Chain A
Amino acid sequence: MMQKEYTKSFIKLGKFIIIFLIADLVLGVISKQLFFSQETGKYARANHAINKTDAKVLILGSSHAHRHYVPEVIEEELKVSCYNAGAEGQQLLYHAALQKMILKRTKPELLILNIDEDFLYYSKEAYDRLSDLHPYYSDHGDVLQPILGLQSKLVDFKLFFNAYQTNSTIMHVLRYYASPQIDYKGYRPLFGKIKPSVGSIDEKESDNKDKKGEIDQNFVTALHSFITTARDNNIKLVFVTSPTYKPVDHSTNESFTHIKAIAEKEKVPFLDYFNAGQFTSIPELFHDPSHLNDDGARLFTRDLAKQLKKSQN
């Protein structure tokens, strides 16, 4: 009697699994089609960087890259094509993965990595936000597996399902279909200026006191890997830090000093714009304490491009 029930249950379970896998396949194809058809928004920019761009200068980094580097200005100054592949909130693991995916298809001449001072400190968000890479798993599993494996040991199993690969992307797709963004080759300007009262001396000091974290060895490895990958592909790599509104003292920031030491050891040029006099404390150039507005971004990019030009000559 029980034998009959077992058999019945397993046959039905088998049928159910097959139906689910078919649904996952069909709906997954549709959702991927929608995902890769986006023309604006953060995923569209990543898609463009991975699958389309053949720009000679590529910019990677977090929101500081995304909001501070104006490709149009770099193109004017250096006379080469440029694309900004910066992504809001993303950190080293993401940038290392993005770099590898891009380099599978195209070889730019110059890679600029915008450095955030806390890049090497452990951050849960840095791991959580790797989910933005899931839609690329089918095509770039070889590159993504080691990085996504840091987020979850069962990455292969989870990403076997098409539904999980495009988890939570539909609203994003619909949102940018309904209200598309203007594309500035990956750059997204911020407008408006910061209130001069923001970022007093007291705030600055307390900020510095609060900045303590633990160095995450996975992030250190990602930075080394980023440098090695660029070198193996004969691509010039430059590290840049963006200006901040408040003067900052990073001498006790372990993450930042570690990054500088790595750059020095690996002979990666490091252009440090923290505390750059032409930006610091000028409210007309900032949107908020850590982001330049469009005017600030253009001024910064022009100055950087000139520095890069100088170093080329």
Chain B
Amino acid sequence: MLFNSFEFFFFLPIVFILYWFVVYNNIKLQNILLLIASYVFYGWWDWRFLSLIALSTLMDYTVGFRIHKAIDKQRKRRWLWVSVIFNLGLLGFFKYYNFFIESWIDLFASVGYEFTSTWTLKVILPVGISFYTFQTLSYSIDIYREKLQPTKDFVAFAAFVSFFPQLVAGPIERATNLLPQFLQKRTFTYKAFSYGIKLMIWGFFLKLVVADRAAIYVDAVYNNVENHDGLSFIAATVLFAFQIYGDFAGYSLIAIGTSKLFGFDLMTNFRRPYFAASVSEFWTRWHISLSTWFRDYLYIPLGGNRVAKPRWLFNLFITFLISGLWHGANWTFVAWGALNGFYLILEVLLFKKKRKGVVNVLLTFVLVNFAWVFFRANSIENAMHIISEICTVPGRLYIGSGDDITASLYATLAIAILVLVELKKEYFNTLFSISKHKFELVRMAGYAFLIYIILYFGVFGKSQFIYFQF
């Protein structure tokens, strides 16, 4: 089920009412309800893959106990490896198997050995697999590191793994933060309810108005690279920067807002990333739950920055390379990750002090956009073509044809609203705020107007969230 579907519009109030009015005084029943709701939410897309979530849940629940009960470090490590191999094996099979086979075939073909593969499989990528496998993996690792005790409450654990607001596209929660919330009594407060609704409204604006409007122009240009010039590619890339931000930050906000309605606090996933003054700062503001996951479970175990400089730089690079691969089984994502790793290495080598100011913000925005070309392009060849056009032929700016022209204008208008709101939050947070206005009528009218804008300017075609494919 998609957040931007009308099914969700009915699903959410039903679960909410059952949760707070029918099973409100029993945590166990609330968790059972959340578990059932989460499986319905996921099964709406494809019920067959529920078995994978169930299997992953069962495996890490069992492994968690085994790690905890193991009498020595070696046995603990052995059980940890069971979890790592299982989760990464699941991910590897469904997400990367065909990619690696095809890449090997291409590699052999490039040196003259042509053969037809009979090894590739017709497998569908289960939605959200990258997210829930990382979440369950962190549970086992944290038990191994003795940061967390395994829970005996299987229902609570299963509900934690499959919690519907963040199941398919994050934020990737740590068991240390989310699991305890399933084990304690949740209380309903007006403050959380109201804040949750506000976050959801803003999330829907980001998704339906900013991202889906921008997508119309971006798709028109990036899916027909032969027919466009440098200027159009620049415009499409900048629009893509806002499309992916609106899409993913929008999803995260709806997820966080929905969780608040049920008395749960999820971690912040985006903090106005395009106001970062360096690429390293950008990564402390963009997809924070993934960046910190890689930091805690890959970068630091590799030695982080507490090693010799060459090794430190290697650690940075490899972390971003793997992060790129996590995003998708395509060389474009690997190139995107490598480019980000390269930016970070350059920053370590060239700058000793923390960078600040508008010029650095703009420079970072340009660098991040350059990397987005690889992220969005359909192939490495397309990305190289786009970059060469940007660098050599300004050409004509495509403004769309027919209704696409108005779509581009709506996207620009929506992005202007987004930038102004974020600019105010970033630099002038104490200034006038509709959401904090002393008169309730003003606050409510502000959000009512925002919903009107969503209904009036939004795209309602049940479009997928980009991060579902990761």
Q: Which residues of A contact B (CB under 8 A)?
A: 2, 5-6, 8-9, 12-13, 15-16, 19-20, 22-24, 27, 31, 88-89, 128, 152, 154, 157-158, 161, 163-164, 166-168, 170-172, 175
Partner of A158, one of B190, B456, B460, B461: B460
Q: CB-CB < 8 A to A128: which residues of B? A: 461
B residues 379-425 with Cβ under 8 Å of A?
A: 402-403, 405-407, 409-410
Q: Does B94 contact A (CB under 8 A)?
A: no
| Also in contact, A24 and B460, with CB within 8 A (given A2-B188, A168-B410, A171-B410) | no
Q: Which residues of B contact A (CB under 8 A)?
A: 6, 20, 24, 187-190, 193-194, 197, 402-403, 405-407, 409-410, 440-441, 444-445, 447-449, 451-452, 455-458, 460-461
Main secondary structure of the interface of A (DSSP, over half): helix
The residue on B at minimum CB distance from A21 is B448
Q: CB-CB < 8 A to A20: which residues of B? A: 448, 451-452
Q: CB-CB < 8 A to A168: which residues of B? A: 406-407, 410, 456-457
Main secondary structure of the interface of B (DSSP, over half): helix
Partner of B188, one of A6, A13, A31, A167: A6
Nearest 9 A-B pairs (CB), nearest first?
Answer: A163-B455, A171-B406, A20-B448, A163-B456, A23-B448, A154-B6, A19-B448, A8-B190, A9-B190
- Cβ distance A58 to chain B, nearest Cβ, rounded Å: 23
Q: CB-CB < 8 A to B451: which residues of A? A: 20, 163
Are A19 and B445 in contact, CB atoms less than 8 angstroms apart? yes
Q: CB-CB < 8 A to B447: which residues of A? A: 16
Are A166 and B456 in contact, CB atoms less than 8 angstroms apart? yes
- Cβ distance B217 to chain A, nearest Cβ, rounded Å: 13
Partner of A157, one of B6, B445, B456, B461: B6
Instruction: Give CA–CA (A12, B461) in the complex, Å.
Output: 31
| Also in contact, A19 and B444, with CB within 8 A (given A6-B188, A161-B455) | yes
Are B190 and A5 in contact, CB atoms less than 8 angstroms apart? yes
Instruction: Give CA–CA (A95, B427) in the complex, Å.
Output: 53
Are A9 and B448 in contact, CB atoms less than 8 angstroms apart? no
Partner of B445, one of A8, A23, A89, A154: A23
Partner of B406, one of A2, A13, A88, A175: A175
Are B24 and A2 in contact, CB atoms less than 8 angstroms apart? yes
- Cβ distance A98 to chain B, nearest Cβ, rounded Å: 18
The residue on A at minimum CB distance from B447 is A16
Are B461 and A9 in contact, CB atoms less than 8 angstroms apart? no
The residue on A at minimum CB distance from B213 is A168
The residue on A at minimum CB distance from B454 is A163
- Cβ distance A12 to chain B, nearest Cβ, rounded Å: 7
Instruction: Give CA–CA (A6, B457) in the complex, Å.
Output: 33
Instruction: Give CA–CA (A80, B402) in the complex, Å.
Output: 32
- Cβ distance B227 to chain A, nearest Cβ, rounded Å: 15
**CB<8 Å pairs between A and B, sample of 29:** A2-B187, A5-B190, A6-B20, A9-B188, A9-B190, A9-B193, A12-B194, A12-B440, A15-B440, A15-B444, A19-B445, A19-B448, A20-B448, A20-B451, A22-B448, A23-B445, A23-B448, A23-B449, A24-B452, A88-B402, A163-B451, A164-B455, A164-B456, A167-B460, A168-B407, A171-B406, A172-B406, A175-B405, A175-B406
Q: CB-CB < 8 A to B187: which residues of A? A: 2
- Cβ distance A273 to chain B, nearest Cβ, rounded Å: 25
Q: CB-CB < 8 A to B24: which residues of A? A: 2
Are A9 and B452 in contact, CB atoms less than 8 angstroms apart? no
Are B452 and A27 in contact, CB atoms less than 8 angstroms apart? yes
For the complex with contacts A24-B455, A163-B456, A166-B456, 10 further pairs of A-B residues with Cβ separation under 8 Å are A5-B188, A6-B20, A8-B190, A12-B440, A16-B448, A20-B452, A163-B451, A164-B460, A167-B460, A168-B457
Are A23 and B452 in contact, CB atoms less than 8 angstroms apart? yes
- Cβ distance B210 to chain A, nearest Cβ, rounded Å: 14
Are A12 and B190 in contact, CB atoms less than 8 angstroms apart? yes
Instruction: Give CA–CA (A6, B261) in the complex, Å.
Output: 12
Are B6 and A152 in contact, CB atoms less than 8 angstroms apart? yes
The residue on A at minimum CB distance from B456 is A163
Q: CB-CB < 8 A to A158: which residues of B? A: 6, 460
- Cβ distance B188 to chain A, nearest Cβ, rounded Å: 5
Partner of A163, one of B440, B452, B461: B452
Instruction: Give CA–CA (A19, B440) in the complex, Å.
Output: 11
